Amino acid sequence: VDEVRAHLWQDFLRVRGQTDALCALLSPEDQQPQSFADASPTKWHRAHTSWFFETFLLLPAGDAPAHPAYQHLFNSYYDGVGSRHPRPQRGLLTRPGHDEVSAYRAHVDAGIERHLRTCTDAQLTALAPLVRLGLAHEEQHQELIVTDALHLLSHNPLRPALQPLLQPETPSAPAKAPADAAWIEHPGGLVVVGRDLPAFDLVFDNEGPAHKVWLEPFALAGALVTVAALRAFLDAGGYRDPSLWLAAGFDQVQRLGLSAPLYHRRREDDGALLAFTVQGERVLHDDEPLVHLSFFEADALARFLGARLPTEAEWEVVARAFVSDAERARAGVTVVGGALSLLLPPVGGPGFFGVAWQWTQSSYGPYPGFAPAAGVVGEYNGKFMVGQQVLRGSSSYSPRGHGRSTYRNFWPPATRFQAAGLRLCRQL
Ligand SMILES: [Fe+2]
């Protein structure tokens, strides 16, 4: 049990430290604005991730609130906790200021340290899964800090880089023609997907229970769809062809006048494809995986390419068999020495984790026998199980090691600001 205590505290320090290191890439001015209703200011993310530990660990243990207003200001969506500040107005909260939020983080860190040190072994059994949930939650917000900051910076005509230097750099020239991705065939049959909750560990409640699914024979692409496919789609007038789109997707295209994925544009003089990235705007190469697609765009591209999106079960059984734990643990971003360190998988590699979230054709719903976690924390996942699509894998903005083969990310199908792409699937 002492080992659990020590590991929890080490993991707590590591994850909280990563948030601070990531936010240090952004100035206090960068951390204030909210560029649209679905994004949040960096400062709010820093406060809200602290609020999570305070609300679900410190206050139930009898601690006094750090500030009487913070329960309202930094509640995201937990109706069982009480009132909250309207989401679209988070950017208007100029106070508390940057330093007061830093002090709030330090206050919460000190509280968690004290409780982990002094709680009984029996209390630790109840506390450990909540600390793990708080850390997984904080890692999810680390990714949102990047995607929200990218959206904010994209509105600046100076086209600033969130981080000019990445390690290693993205490929400087096309290494080869886009990978003619090998197809990974699966015979289908009765498979088990999902995962049950182990003691002292965390999987989100939406990943279980483990259960059986019947699959027809299928083949999943061995690589992600790349920029070359987008170029072909644009050349063929894909954004103007309703036969390629779901109705709700074509509605969005027409309503917003879309002619390319978010952050993407074609340069007038030479037709090069440019994208706004964490490195600022740059020319894309044909063999780079596509990101920042909506579900509708991913679905249309798959149809254009004569294939379809996989179901989440198809994705899971192949990823589980195909990706080693060591490979999965290396995927994603970390901050080292004041710079984002991206361990990008090799060009043309399978890219199940650490490149792009992959849209599936599965609606986000409960697995058979699903029960939300007890208490208000049960609002974490369960109440969103309508009107969204499941994404699998993890992206290059996901914290290192955050992905799992059973992990279920979810977003509404029109969402464009996340680092989401696609992997093709077809029936055998
Ligand atoms: Fe949250």
In the block, tokens 């044909």 appear at 286
Tell me, in angstroms, the distance from the centre of ligand 1 to residue 142's CA.
10
**CB 352 within 8 Å of CB 322:** yes
pLDDT in tens, 191-228: 999 998 765 566 788 999 999 999 999 999 999 999 99
Instruction: Work out the pLDDT band at 181, boundaries 50, 70, 90.
Output: low
Position 395 scores a pLDDT of 94
Tell me, in angstroms, the distance from the centre of ligand 1 to residue 326's CA.
28
Instruction: Work out the pLDDT band at 240, boundaries 50, 70, 90.
Output: very high
Position 283 scores a pLDDT of 95
Q: Please state, in angstroms and rounded to a whole number, the distance separating the CA atoms of residues 421 and 359.
A: 6
Residue 179 has pLDDT above 70, yes or no: no
Tell me, in angstroms, the distance from the centre of ligand 1 to residue 149's CA.
16
pLDDT in tens, 246-258: 999 999 999 999 9
Position 150 scores a pLDDT of 97
Tell me, in angstroms, the distance from the centre of ligand 1 to residue 48's CA.
7
Residue 19 has pLDDT above 60, yes or no: yes
Average pLDDT of the chain is 92
Encoding tokens for residue 384? 């969103």
Tell me, in angstroms, the distance from the centre of ligand 1 to residue 107's CA.
19
> Averaged over 90-110, what is the pLDDT?
98
Tell me, in angstroms, the distance from the centre of ligand 1 to residue 45's CA.
8
Instruction: Work out the pLDDT band at 176, boundaries 50, 70, 90.
Output: very low
Position 168 scores a pLDDT of 52
pLDDT in tens, 251-277: 999 999 999 999 999 999 998 999 999
Tell me, in angstroms, the distance from the centre of ligand 1 to residue 244's CA.
35
Position 344 scores a pLDDT of 63
Instruction: Work out the pLDDT band at 175, boundaries 50, 70, 90.
Output: very low
Residue 174 has pLDDT above 80, yes or no: no
Tell me, in angstroms, the distance from the centre of ligand 1 to residue 247's CA.
32
Position 172 scores a pLDDT of 38
Instruction: Work out the pLDDT band at 419, boundaries 50, 70, 90.
Output: very high
3-state secondary structure the chain: CHHHHHHHHHHHHHHHHHHHHHHCCCCCCCCCCCCCCCCCCHHHHHHHHHHHHHHHHHCCCCCCCCCCCHHHHCCCCCCCCCCCCCHHHHHHCCCCCHHHHHHHHHHHHHHHHHHHHHCCHHHHHHHHHHHHHHHHHHHHHHHHHHHHHHHHHHCCCCCCCCCCCCECCCCCCCCCCCCCCCEEEECCEEEEECCCCCCCCCCCHHHCCCEEEEECCEEEECCCCEHHHHHHHHHCCHHHCHHHCCHHHHHHHHHHCCCCCCCEEECCCCCCEEEEECCEEEECCCCCECCCCCHHHHHHHHHHCCCECCCHHHHHHHHHHHCCHHHHHHCCEEEECCEEEECCCCCCCCCCCCECEEEEEEECCCCCCCCCCCCHHHHCCHHHCCCCEEEECCECCCECCCCCCCCCEEECCCCCCCCEECCCEEEC
Tell me, in angstroms, the distance from the centre of ligand 1 to residue 94's CA.
20
Tell me, in angstroms, the distance from the centre of ligand 1 to residue 137's CA.
6
Position 377 scores a pLDDT of 85
Tell me, in angstroms, the distance from the centre of ligand 1 to residue 383's CA.
14
Integer angstrom CA distances of residue 165 from 17, 139, 229, 340: 21, 22, 28, 8
Instruction: Work out the pLDDT band at 170, boundaries 50, 70, 90.
Output: very low
Closest by Cα among 423, 409, 393, 419 to 207: 409
Tell me, in angstroms, the distance from the centre of ligand 1 to residue 141's CA.
7
Tell me, in angstroms, the distance from the centre of ligand 1 to residue 233's CA.
36
pLDDT in tens, 321-352: 988 877 788 888 888 888 888 766 665 678 99
Tell me, in angstroms, the distance from the centre of ligand 1 to residue 412's CA.
17
Q: Please state, in angstroms and rounded to a whole number, the distance separating the CA atoms of residues 295 and 284.
A: 21
- Give the rounded percent of residues in the chain with a pLDDT score beyond 70: 93
Tell me, in angstroms, the distance from the centre of ligand 1 to residue 191's CA.
33
pLDDT in tens, 342-391: 766 665 678 999 999 999 999 999 999 998 888 888 888 889 999 999 99
Question: Are β-strands 218-221 and 425-427 bridged in parallel, bridged antiparallel, or unpaired?
Answer: antiparallel
pTM: 0.95
Tell me, in angstroms, the distance from the centre of ligand 1 to residue 49's CA.
6
> Averaged over 141-157, what is the pLDDT?
97
